[in-house]
Amino acid sequence: MSSIRVFLLGSLAERGPMHGHQLRLLAEREHVAMWTDFGVGAIYGALKRLLAEGLVEALRTEREGARPERQIVAITPAGREALDAMRLETLTTFTMKADPFDLAMARLGPEVLDELPWILSHRRGAIADELAAEQQRVERAEPYLTVAERHVMQHKTHRLTAELAWLDAVLADLPAIVADERTREAD
């Protein structure tokens, strides 16, 4: 599922025709990079793909002062159908992406065993820093959020908190992990 497609089609359905720069400004204003998997710079390419697929259509071009000419686009009936299907699929499908960390942890080599306490402690610090930053973002945004947006922003906080708890369990088992790896290394 493509978050950027849901954002673009949803924005056009909700707010009406816009040009790419307006969509980019909207994404910046709504801080979508904080709670989605795309950056605002990806909007222009995604918009071109939606145009090519017939999910949005060009209505006209506009020029404001000395600014470049901008193409105003609107969602098509096919785009509305696709948006409804994407929303339903996104809301009903659980997605948890694999973390490459897990593969590296399952395939520890002898060269990292001595460094593993530092590596995992460093990782824990980075996650704790990200959690603190996320909590600050949520606190700053709190007065401006709808109930649904509040839950969306807290979702990342809950995931980071769970990641820290899991990593603390790994760190507690670290002597056993290293001993197990050294035994396998000797075999």
> Which pLDDT tens digits describe the chain residue by residue (187 residues)?
688 999 999 999 999 999 999 999 988 888 777 777 788 888 899 999 999 999 999 999 888 878 788 899 999 999 999 999 999 998 898 888 888 999 999 988 888 999 999 999 999 999 999 999 989 988 988 888 889 888 988 998 999 999 999 999 999 999 999 999 888 877 7
Which residue in this structure is represented by tokens 């025709």?
17
Output DSSP code: residue 68.
P
Where exactly are the structural domains of the chain?
3-92, 100-186
pLDDT at 66: 82
Q: Which helix (H) or strand (E) holds 138?
A: helix 116-141
Burial letters for 120-158: b for 16+ Cβ neighbours within 10 Å, e otherwise?
Answer: beeebeebeeebeebbebbeeeeeeeeeeeeeebbebee
Please state which CATH number belongs to domain 3-92.
1.10.10.10
Q: Number of H helices and number of E strands within the chain?
A: 10, 3
pLDDT at 140: 86
pLDDT at 101: 93
Q: With beta carbons less than 8 A apart as the criterion, state whether 4 and 43 touch.
A: yes
pLDDT at 73: 95
Q: With beta carbons less than 8 A apart as the criterion, state whether 91 and 76 touch.
A: no
Question: CB under 8 Å to 84, separation ≥6 — which residues?
Answer: none
